[in-house]
Amino acid sequence: MKYKLIYLLVLCTIGCGGESNGEVPVDPEPEPVDNSISNITYVASFDVISNPERGFMHHWAVESEGMPVSTAMLNSLKNEKVTIINRIYYLDAFKDADLSQAELDLITTDFERMRTAGIKCILRFAYNSDQNETDAPLSRVISHLDQLKPILTDNYDVIAFVQAGFIGSWGEWYYTTNNLTTLENKTAVLNKLLEVLPKEIKVQVRTPLYKQEIFNYSTAMDATVGYGDSDIARVGFHNDCFLASPDDYGTYQNIPIEKQYISKEALFVPTGGETCPPSGVPTASCTTADTEMALLKWTYLNLDYYGPVLQEWRNNDCFEDFQRELGYRLLLKTASLKKEIKANGNFDLDLVMDNVGFAPVYNKKNASLILKSTDDGTIHSKSLDFDIRKVVPGAEYDLTETVNLSGIPAGSYTLYLKIEDASPSLKDRPEYSIQLANSGTWEASTGMNELLHTLIIN
């Protein structure tokens, strides 16, 4: 009986379908192949990449009129894949005086050495490193910022972000002996920072409520505000007790609401900081840390504190994952590119990109399509409108742009995408360009990403 049933099923498969006239169904015609287009699939890399303004950082503080940061120490950071330091200047000696020329020279020398080494800093100023010590009055803070303005303006190119600082011990906006934690005084310090810093620089405050109180709002900004340069679009967050207690040592008041607020704001402004000794919670596991950093879009984390938390991640094989994922990690997925165009014609750039890091790029960059002659290596650069900040985690990005190639002579060209620092002083420095996380595409000597495509201009 079983075999008769199978036989009937086979007969029905052959003759019981909708084809009443007995015709055999015909497969649809395949899509025609456009031989004028090269379709490329890129291979992701799993290497730890040194990219600017993101990743693990070192925390290097210096006392008043102390020694400049060591050139040898800065150069050694390359071996650790570290591109940023948290440089904190303690101004203990100047609570009742102007900053000395020696102090100003120290800061200037640091910036010069960082630039030479290809490093940027996350900057903070404070008046003491002990909760039992005093800070400075508001008038002194304001006058010090006026003194610092020329140096900050001249060296903005090597400042990744600025932590608001100045108020209280460690500049953490808590222990103050000069009543600086009132809303009025916090607002005055932040406004002065935003005034003296170039518009390109973003400032971070210690808790989400500080920003909400100062700007009198609670709904996270959207792209129409976030990609601008208004004051509110320049203020992010630093958390100096990350993963250390249920509320991160008072960082949060309404934990879920404020974390969601930061998560949305951090599409446009940076979050980062350091861990602390855990209190009331276990040492953060790999899973807990990964979940939190992804939610809050962490872009940097102190490599020097708190050691046992970092060791937990090393012991459980996720430390290197965080080296990859802190901040942005951009990669090419696919491309559809014309093989040939006529001289002085338009070229359609059609790329699909992804960001598999925790955070976007926060500082503006210049992007260019580079054509490199396969005959003599001559370089031609065409600026793109592409805004790298909009390649955000969790969503593919279609980079489609028509590029006019007028002025480029006929010939064969290898194509590259270059994403360089926006400052004139660093734009030609490869170590300040963004390397995409793909295999076989990075040209370290020039800071360009090869698109694995050759274009013929006739």
CA 86 – CA 65 distance, rounded (Å):
18
Residue 310: closest CA among 282, 288, 286 = 286
| Domain ranges for the chain | 37-47+330-457, 55-325
DSSP string, 426-447: TTT-GGGSPPPSBTT-EETTTT
CA 206 – CA 190 distance, rounded (Å):
12
For residue 158, the one-letter residue type is V
CA 456 – CA 424 distance, rounded (Å):
31
Non-local (6+) Cβ contacts of 108 within 8 A are 151, 155
For residue 385, the one-letter residue type is D
**Are 383 and 419 spatial neighbours (Cβ–Cβ below 8 Å)?**
no
CA 403 – CA 292 distance, rounded (Å):
40
The sign one gets for the Cα dihedral 122, 129, 197, 93 is negative
Fold classification of 55-325 (topology level): TIM Barrel (3.20.20)
- The two tokens of residue 122 are 């996350």
- The two tokens of residue 291 are 């979940």
Residue 392: closest CA among 201, 272, 222 = 222
- The two tokens of residue 242 are 């990350």
DSSP category for residue 44: B
Instruction: Decide which of 1.10.3470, 3.30.70, 3.30.360, 2.60.40 is the CATH code for 37-47+330-457.
Output: 2.60.40
| Residue-level pLDDT, tens digit, the chain, 458 residues | 333 333 333 333 334 444 444 555 666 666 677 899 999 999 999 999 999 999 999 999 999 999 999 999 999 999 999 999 999 999 999 999 999 999 999 999 999 999 999 999 999 999 999 999 999 999 999 999 999 999 999 999 999 999 999 999 999 999 999 999 999 999 999 999 999 999 999 999 999 999 999 999 999 999 999 999 999 999 999 999 999 999 999 999 999 999 999 999 999 999 999 999 999 999 999 999 999 999 999 999 999 999 999 999 999 999 999 999 999 999 999 999 999 999 999 999 999 999 999 999 999 999 999 999 999 999 999 999 999 999 999 999 999 999 999 999 999 999 999 999 999 999 999 999 999 999 999 999 999 999 999 999 99
Looking at the DSSP assignment, which residues form a beta bridge with residue 438?
Answer: 44
Tokens 């890399």 locate to 45
Q: Do domains 37-47+330-457 and 55-325 have the same CATH topology?
A: no
